[in-house]
Structure formats: C-alpha cells, structure tokens
C-alpha cells in the first residue's frame, strides 16, 4: 500500500465535500475548481444512493490557507473545535440528568446540573474529571 492509499484509510484524514463547506467556509464551486486545477484529490462515494466527494483534509486545509490566509484557517478550526466541545458538554449534561432521574446518582438539588459554564462544571459533585466517569456512585458499584 503506498502512502497515498494509506492516507485515504486513516481516520480523520478525509472529509466530505459537505463537511469541507461547513468547517472551512468553502463553496462547492471553489471545491470543484480546485479539483479541476489539480489542487484537491477526491474519491467519489455514495450513501443510500446519494453521491458525495471524499477529500483529503490536509489538501483542503492547504487550499483554505492559500485562498483565505492562515488566520482564517485557524479561526475556522477553533470554531469547529468549540462546536465539537459544546456538543460533547450537552451530551454529558443529558447523561448526568438521566442518571439523576433514574436515581443512579445522588444530587443535592436540581440546580447542580451544570449549564455549561466552566465554574459550574468544576463544582458539579457528580462529574468525575479524573476518570471520565459521570457519577461516582455508579463508579463505586
């Protein structure tokens, strides 16, 4: 397997054309133009009969860096990471609420479910930062 084929198989090394548009603010025309100019490699894929393009992430990042600049690329990457972290926090809050609702985790009051502010997350008695467990009561069983 050559290096190019290995890169296509690596987790996170590729993204869809739709993800490239969302994460980096590219338009479909910019993607197609870059493919025709030889700046982006692609592979065609389809899911449930819907076609899409797989692109190499490093090439998309290089394209964005050239077209919009390094600062723009870093801002878009930071925004994407923030969105991912906020989604994860929302899922964790839902898990905490479900554990408390099922009686698997004791809570002094309902106000202790964190709203997402870092100071509230640090003070949540049911959130174990050290082992990644949601509730110490469940962890001890």
Query: Residue ranges per domain, the chain?
Result: 1-68, 84-141
Cα distance between residue 84 and residue 66, in whole Å: 25
Cα distance between residue 114 and residue 111, in whole Å: 8
User: Which run of H or E residues covers position 52?
Assistant: strand 50-56
pLDDT digits (tens, 9 = 90+) for 8-25: 988 989 999 999 999 999
Q: Report the phi/psi class of residue 42: left, alpha or beta, with left for phi > 0 and alpha for psi in -120 to 50.
A: beta
pLDDT digits (tens, 9 = 90+) for 67-113: 999 999 999 999 999 999 999 999 999 999 998 888 877 655 545 55
Q: Give the pLDDT band (50/70/90) at residue 140.
A: very low
Q: What percent of the chain has pLDDT over 70?
A: 72
Contact 95/83 with Cβ under 8 angstroms?
no
pLDDT digits (tens, 9 = 90+) for 21-69: 999 999 999 999 999 999 999 999 999 999 999 999 999 999 999 999 9
Cα distance between residue 44 and residue 8, in whole Å: 12
């Amino acid at each position: 397997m050559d290096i190019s084929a290995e890169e296509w198989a690596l987790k996170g090394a590729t993204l869809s054309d739709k993800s490239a548009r969302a994460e980096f603010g590219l338009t479909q025309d910019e993607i197609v133009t870059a493919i025709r100019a030889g700046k982006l490699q692609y592979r065609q894929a389809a899911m449930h009969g819907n076609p899409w393009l797989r692109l190499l992430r490093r090439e998309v990042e290089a394209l964005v860096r050239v077209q919009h600049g390094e600062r723009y690329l870093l801002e878009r990457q930071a925004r994407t990471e923030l969105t991912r972290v906020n989604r994860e926090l929302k899922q964790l809050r839902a898990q905490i609420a479900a554990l408390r609702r099922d009686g698997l985790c004791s809570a002094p009051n309902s106000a202790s479910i964190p709203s997402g502010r870092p100071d509230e997350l640090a003070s949540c008695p049911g959130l174990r930062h050290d082992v990644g467990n949601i509730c110490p009561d469940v962890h001890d069983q």
